[in-house]
Structure 1
Amino acid sequence: MSSHKSHRRRGAAPVSGNPKFYGRHAVYAALDNPDRRLIKLWGTREELGKIVIPEGLAVQFADAADLARYVPKDAPHQGLVLEVAPMEDVWLTDALAVDDDTRPLLILDQVTDPHNVGAIFRTAAAFNAVAVITQDRHAPPESGALAKAASGALEVTPWVRVVNLARALEEIAEAGYWRIGLSGHATATLEQALTPGRNALVLGAEGDGMRHNIEEHCDQLAKLPISEQMESLNVSNAAAIALYAATVRRG
């Protein structure tokens, strides 16, 4: 990205507990998002010289060593750090109102690693998922590490946080989705479980998998046909394969 153009004015936002995004993809995407409230931008003269600074945004020049103080140790900030306010909540009813039977819905049960969740958001955006749904008490907050792994996807894929995931799955079924829970002990494969209509893919945390109550709220359990040499896949890899399979099926 050689030039970034944005002239939107942003309102003030609370400064306590705000995440700091870093890296070009995450920062550029946040600057481009009219729904993202921006607070302050730090950058090297070289990187700031490549972008048009949004009107009203506080900016501070810094060298690479100074920027390193704002990010996790050895994190690749690429000369840019942007403090933002977390996105406003997306309601489940709004996500379910999307009238498109070809786009999958993705539900995560107690997936808490920010790098995995960020990678899942990146894949969800790539395959045009309707939204990513998590339980608010068992999911990571927006953070620089999550946004870096998402590579801009946080700004384009809705993140729905719900209080009760089982109840949310009931609403998802009422909206016409076929709820497929990925589980290593399932007998059917994902290819067999996918329907021509609305598919909702449910993934659990690595190791423990989905909780029993969440499995009970799925219409069908399915597995990925992986080799017996491996017990399971990283949850972000599993999500990528599942979303690809759903895309191929609707094609």
Structure 2
Amino acid sequence: MSEEWITGKNPVLETLKSGRSVNKVLVLESMKQQVQQQIIQAAKQQQVNVQKVPKQKLDAIGDHHQGVAASVAAYDYASLDDLFAVAESRQEAPFFILLDQLEDPHNLGSIMRTADAVGAHGIVIPKRRSVQLTQTVAKSSTGAIEHIPVARVTNMNQAIEELKDRQVWVVGTDASATEDYRQSSYDMPIALVVGSEGQGMSRLVAKNCDWFVKLPMKGHVTSLNASVSASILMYEVLRKREQVGD
């Protein structure tokens, strides 16, 4: 398994808290003492070696490192069974996010962040024509990558068929849909499909959806960023599943 670097204070702290295997942590030798000690203490609790290094060393790893970087093994992907196991452990109806050909790592990171916030049980991405789990995604997720499992499948349509066989309803988004996203019920096992930034979901994936919802567009723009659309839908699922105060 290849090595990856996580950079930035919060992503590194979240990585250490998650219990993930960390090889070492590098901190800027001239970093403010209070911040430096916070990183060192978190690493010490996980028995991870910390090295104080000059800025040039961190600059060679990547931009925007904020004076800290952690060397970790490349990210492991989950399986669909793993995602179902998360839902079962919480005694909740499965709630998955399917990303069809999403290419922007910042969008994936943002979606992971929201998915973790709403308590989704996992994300599914295809192996081909899709962004994968990278350091950029990790940084954009601000640590959520350590908490939300991501399953990588060879064929998204086959994965959808498997989800359907396991009583999961698959909901797509389409501007031409007749049903407003606020009209749907989401208390059953559900998988939300979010398409690519430019083309939306593929024809075959759309064909396999059980139904479609749309986000009303009252202004002049005709579409929203993929991560924004996904966040709106995910919070609607949470709103329908949980009463305020639960």
TM-score by length of 2: 0.87
Q: Provide the C-alpha distance between the structure 2 equivalents of 1:125 and 1:56, rounded to a whole number of angstroms.
A: 26
Residue among 167, 171, 174 paired with 1:183: 174
Question: Is 2:17 the counterpart of 1:29?
Answer: no
Q: Distance in 2 between matches of 1:195 and 1:107?
A: 15
Q: Give the Cα separation in 1 of the matches to 2:28 and 2:233.
A: 40
CA, structure 1 residues 176+118, in 2 after alignment: closer, same or farther (shift >3 Å)? same
Q: Post-superposition shift, 1:102?
A: 4.7
- 1:103 to partner: Cα distance: 5.3
Determine whether 1:247 maps to 2:232.
no
8 A Cα contact 1:188 1:221, kept in partner: yes
Deviation digits for residues 207-230 of structure 1 (CA, Å, limit 9, x no counterpart): 200000000111001111122411
Unpaired runs of at least 5, structure 2: none
Flag the structure with higher helix content: 2
Give, in whole Å, the separation in 1 of the partners of 2:239 and 2:48: 43
Q: 2:23 aligns with which of 21, 39, 43?
A: 39
Q: Is the deviation greater in 113-122 or in 20-29?
A: 20-29
Larger CA deviation: 132-141 vs 61-70: 61-70
Please give the alpha-carbon distance, in whole angstroms, between the structure 2 residues aligned to 1:232 and 1:224. 9
Deviation sequence 1:79-138 (CA, Å, 0-9, x none): 111111123331112212423445521110000211110000000000010101100223
TM-fit CA distance, 1:181: 0.5
Match of 1:192 in 2: 183
| Structure 1 residue runs without a partner (length 5+) | 1-13
The amino acid that maps onto 2:14 is A
The equivalent of 1:66 in structure 2 is 57
Relative to the length of structure 1, the TM-score reads 0.85
Identity rate of aligned residues, in percent?
A: 31
> Residues 54-97 of structure 1: CA distance to partner in whole angstroms, max 9, x if unpaired?
4653432123443222113xx2x221111111233311122124
CA contact (8 A) 1:102 1:250 kept: no
Report 1:148-163 matches (<5 A): 148-163=139-154
Which of 201, 212, 223 is 1:210 aligned to?
Answer: 201
- Cα offset, 1:178, TM superposition: 1.5
CA-based RMSD: 1.8
